Amino acid sequence: MANGLYRLDEFRDNCGFGLIAHTKGESSHRLLQTAIEALTCMTHRGGIAADGKTGDGCGLLIQKPDAFLRSVASEVCATSLPALYAVGVMMLSQDTNCRAQSKRVVAEELDRQGLGLSGWREVPTDPECLGPIALETLPVIEHLFIAAPEGMEDKQFDARLFIARRHIENRLVEDKAFYIASFSAAVVCYKGLMMPVDLPHFYKDLSDPRLETAICVFHQRFSTNTLPKWPLAQPFRMLAHNGEINTILGNRNWSVARTPKFKSPLLPDLNDVVPLVNRTGSDSSSLDNMLELLAIGGMPLHCAVRMLIPPAWNNVEDIDPAESAFFEYQSMHMEPWDGPAGLVMTDGRYAICALDRNGLRPSRWVLTDDDIITVASEVGVYDYEPENVVAKGRLGPGDMLSIDVVEGLVETRAEIDHRLSRELPYKKWLKAGVRAIESTMDEDGIELEGSLTSEQINTYMKLYGVSFEDRRQVMSPLAESGQEATASMGDDAPLAVLSQQNRSLYDYFRQQFAQVTNPPIDPLREAIAMSLSTQLGKELNIFEQDADHAIRINLNSPVLSPRKYYALKYNDHEAFPVQKFDLNYDPEKKDLREAITDLCKEVEQAVRSGKVICILSDHDIVENRLPIHMLFAVGAVHNHLIKVELRCDANIIASTGSARDSHQIAALIGCGASAVYPYLSFHVLCDMIESGELSCSVDAAFKNYRRGINKGLMKILSKMGISTITSYRGAVLFEALGLCDDIVDLCFSGIVSRIQGATFGDFEE
């Protein structure tokens, strides 16, 4: 509790962004000056401190100015740079001893990677333009020149630089002043906590006419509910981002889970530099980490962007089948980093702008007759004559614009997607590998797991807390109309932890909602951008693209019907072996915590033996035994498999009697369940039909119930500003009210939990 109720992983920002590039690749100082002018015109999009001079952060990411750097290296370092070299922009401590130690670590790690240290150059700065708040944390900023060994190829050099930088960052993690703004053979970053107009005054390099570039990415930050810091100013090492990554906790968790799946010959030592994605920086910096990893590992930049921030494709009727196959195939590698997002980025060759699937951030572009293209949050960011405009437009939802300054090529979304979708036979692979579970269903009847009498159903209802009020007010409307019941707003019941009644574990969780700078989504009017599509199967190496990746089971919803559950449970495909795990335990022999730990070990052993579909079931009630609550089981197994690097080798199916409404099912999915089979709900619906409480058929009741739950899930996703269930899975977008740290650490790692409370012992009673 050293930080009180504050969480280090809750950095958010909303900003102005843009890029300027010469489409023919001609470098000039004028282009840089134009970018600074454009950045200054977006001052109103950034934050400013009370001192009137400290900004929330602004900066530029430009091509490596080769002639300029060779000149200053010769002047300052008395060294001649080799043909292939890199420059690191280093932010160091003001303390002399600490700075010397940092430089020793840098030298050691470069030497370990076989890279040469050609020299250090203190970047000329003028702190007079900074405000007092920025001055308090002002680092020493230096350029580090790094020489590649003779004969080393560009891609190998980039990979060595990446590994060296990650080792340096891990060794100096305790030095809060240390930060590497860029560490590249292609780009250089200039940024800080100044106002945009003062950027060229602080960095004297930017006023030097010898500094030329053909690409400039720029960004003005508005820090949302968080204090500005020098490292959080943008652009980062590849991109600048305007928006919110609403699924950031899940994305970070899945990046840990997928660490064993990142295998590239360019990066053989990745396990030595974990975490691959930071967990305490801003959401934008984590996205930059992942994009950088994919690009340096060998994935084409456009493909990486389309994987991380895909357009809406699931429900688009007129989409090109080849493009649909491409996006479906890429979705098997990684969930979308979802939320409103406007991105501009460069790797030194390509300048790219991309928008999220809902187009919730503005982006306008203008191409003038001098071959300069400008993309920014708004039009008019610099003075150009209207008669000089060749073309102009805006980026819409899911759009992408790319400028290749080497080939002199400008590509639109249609051209990029057409090219990417035809590089490999994605459609053929999907046709051969994807199993639609509906094709294996028995359409002759509906069978439920175990035959329960009305008396037994009442026993299950009592055990799992299904009240007669739930039957009438929750399940009946779902079964009759396919809609959740309309009710008055507000909840005047005591918090579960304070209640004198026995409350479900689900009641300890409150859904988070969009409350920073991102809007919620309308699940009715924007349904085309939303998807509950779920894929089951084993994930493979993310850097390999072949037919084996397409061997998956496709579900149109994570909520399983009895038919789909049985088709999945009894499937005989060699790629999807199944094992069922009974959640009952003997309280005389072990307590609840021990039972959960044993379950995790049992699932781990099964996954190591090759099981892919792991069904956690609380169906079989046994006298004198207690079931582990499904939410405990799902959360603990999910977290444990991540820790032992097996989560991406298995799928967690929750066959439970405890979940019956959309909140409870969303909690299971949010804590890691791949799919949920609410078997007791189907038994209760059958009982209600037999008793006359429902007048519809069994088939209609089941279909309506699932339809209503699906609508409820869409509503839960939408109010958090999330479009896909895959991004919601494992993101634990809840706040736990009244659970002790032991429960949170074991079962719900990463969830917001500010109030202590119930223990495992309390739930066991």
Cis peptide before 386 (omega within 30 of 0): no
DSSP letter assigned to residue 138: P
Supply angle C-alpha 483, 485, 489, rounded to 5.
Answer: 130
Q: Cβ-count burial of 43 within 10 angstroms (0-12 exposed, 13-18 middle, 19+ buried)?
A: middle
Residue 189 and residue 233 in contact, taking contact as beta carbons nearer than 8 Å: no
Q: Cβ-count burial of 364 within 10 angstroms (0-12 exposed, 13-18 middle, 19+ buried)?
A: middle
All residues at 6 or more sequence positions from 279 whose CB lies less than 8 Å from its CB, including other chains:
9, 252, 286
d(CA 487, CA 707): 19
Look at residue 272 and give its three-state secondary structure: helix
Please name every residue paired with 283 in a beta bridge, in sequence order, or none if there are none.
none
- C-alpha separations of 591 from 171, 622, 633 in Å: 41, 17, 14
Report helix, strand and coil shares of the chain as percent, to nearest 5: 40, 20, 40
Residue 635 and residue 441 in contact, taking contact as beta carbons nearer than 8 Å: no
From the list 235, 218, 49, the residue with the least C-alpha distance to 134 is 49
d(CA 557, CA 51): 52
Q: What is the DSSP string of 90-122?
A: EEE-SSHHHHHHHHHHHHHHHHHTT-EEEEEEE
From the list 542, 540, 520, 629, the residue with the least C-alpha distance to 583 is 629
Quote the tokens at residue 743: 């429960």
d(CA 149, CA 161): 12
d(CA 288, CA 187): 14
Residue 207 and residue 126 in contact, taking contact as beta carbons nearer than 8 Å: no
d(CA 293, CA 291): 5
Please give the backbone phi and psi of residue 407, each rounded to the nearest 5 degrees, phi first: -90, -10
Quote the tokens at residue 90: 């280093």
Catalytic residue (one of 15, 58, 189, 648): 15
d(CA 721, CA 135): 37
Q: What is the DSSP string of 477-491?
A: HHHHHSSPPP--S--
The sign of the torsion formed by the CA atoms of 441, 444, 450, 453 equals: positive
Residue 61 and residue 217 in contact, taking contact as beta carbons nearer than 8 Å: yes
All residues at 6 or more sequence positions from 60 whose CB lies less than 8 Å from its CB, including other chains:
32, 35, 36, 39, 189, 190, 191, 199, 206, 216, 217, 218, 235
Residue 250 and residue 728 in contact, taking contact as beta carbons nearer than 8 Å: yes
What stretches of 305-385 adopt beta strand conformation (E)?
341-346, 350-355, 364-368, 372-376
Whether 58 is catalytic is no
Look at residue 745 and give its three-state secondary structure: helix
Residue 496 and residue 738 in contact, taking contact as beta carbons nearer than 8 Å: yes
d(CA 190, CA 35): 13
Q: Hey, which residues are catalytic here?
A: 15
